[in-house]
Structure 1
Amino acid sequence: MNEFNTYLNNLDYSNIKDLCEEKGKLHIYRKKDFFIRQNEIERFAGWVKEGTFQYTYIDEEGEEHIVGYSFTNEFVCDYSSFMKSCLSAVSIQALTDCSVYEISRHDIIEYWETNMETQRSGRYIAENLYEMVYDRLLDSYCTPEIRYQRLMKRCPDLKDTVPLKSIASFLGVTPETVSRIRRKLKK
């Protein structure tokens, strides 16, 4: 699912991946296990060796919204909670059985403070995460059809990996809307 988390596109994150594998501990999550729950403090970041995680946000009315995914060969964590040691805004749950190299905040910060190059790596990750979120904000001003088309162009295999209901939640629309869009695009 290479193009879903676009913050990875312009990064050489091989050193951080290696750090996770060297200093991190391999943890197995079974389907439906939580990596983090909303309103807890994120203590680890992870490199997903295998599997898929879903990020959800529950609003004040108790409505659940899917806000992201992490796939094999990607990072998993609530970055803001992890870096600032504040409450997580999301829950991250395994959609499949997953294996993850988990690394502590202390180990990441120690690595970033090694030299100027590692500090740049940390800054680039933050900048690219910001850009991805900013693009998502701008997408929210487009019609559901355009958002769906952009998502499918970027990640054509997503519809084979996650259910229609989840794609609809991610786009902020109903499953019926996604079905209508799909029918319209087939014509």
Structure 2
Amino acid sequence: MKDFNSYLDNLDYSLVKDLFHEKGKQRIYHKKDFFIRQNEISRFAEWVENGTFQYTYIDGEGEEHIVGYAFTNEFVCDYSSLMRSGLSLVNIQAITECSVYEISRHDIIEYWETDMKTQRFGRHVAESLFEMVYERLLDSYCTPEIRYRNLMERCPNLKEVVPLKSIASFLGVTPETISRIRRKLEI
């Protein structure tokens, strides 16, 4: 889904994609299979050849919140957990049939440490992820209508891939709020 994950916009990931194909092993996930569960240690990163993953966070009251997606030709991992060998803060689950190439934390760190060029690239990846999360934080201060319009302008086909209730959860509103916004925008 072009333009959903903005960290992909400014960097050429072709060398990293090649790394996943060369060192990785191909895996298939069926719909509802988990890549990782919240509070597990992330040991792998994957390149999505085909399919869609959903990131969810379970809060202290047991409520599930959709916090992200990974689509075809994107990475899938809890990057923070992977890089610091800490517990994953999210669940990552296939919401379609998915084909991926998986590499270990060791392989990706070894790649980042190959030379100055790959170290710089690794830093740029982290900076791009931070920028995307920061933009989402700032976006959370906008009205639900503005957040919905911005998301649909960026990703007009998202509603064909992801159910309305999932879009609502991602935006932090109810499905009814999204329905009202859609009706208002159709007028």
1:15 is displaced (CA, Å) by 0.6
Aligned pairs for 1:1-187 (under 5 A) are 1-187=1-187
Give the AA of the match of 2:34: F
Q: How many residues end up aligned between the 2 structures?
A: 187
Q: Which amino acid aligns with 1:163?
A: P
- Amino acid in structure 1 at the alignment position of 2:156: P
Unpaired runs of 5+ in structure 2? none
Deviation at 1:129, TM superposition (A): 0.2
Give per-residue Cα distances to partners, 1:109-152, cap 9 Å, x unaligned.
11111111000110000000000000000000000000000000
RMSD of aligned C-alpha atoms?
A: 0.4
**Residues 16-66 of structure 1: per-residue CA shift (max 9 Å, x gap):** 110001001001000000000000011100000010000000000000000
Q: Distance in 2 between matches of 1:21 and 1:121?
A: 18
Identity, % of aligned pairs?
A: 78
* Ranges of 4+ aligned residues in structure 1 off by more than 4 Å: none
Deviation at 1:106, TM superposition (A): 0.5
Post-superposition offset of 1:79: 0.3
Q: If the length of structure 1 is used for normalisation, what is the TM-score?
A: 0.99
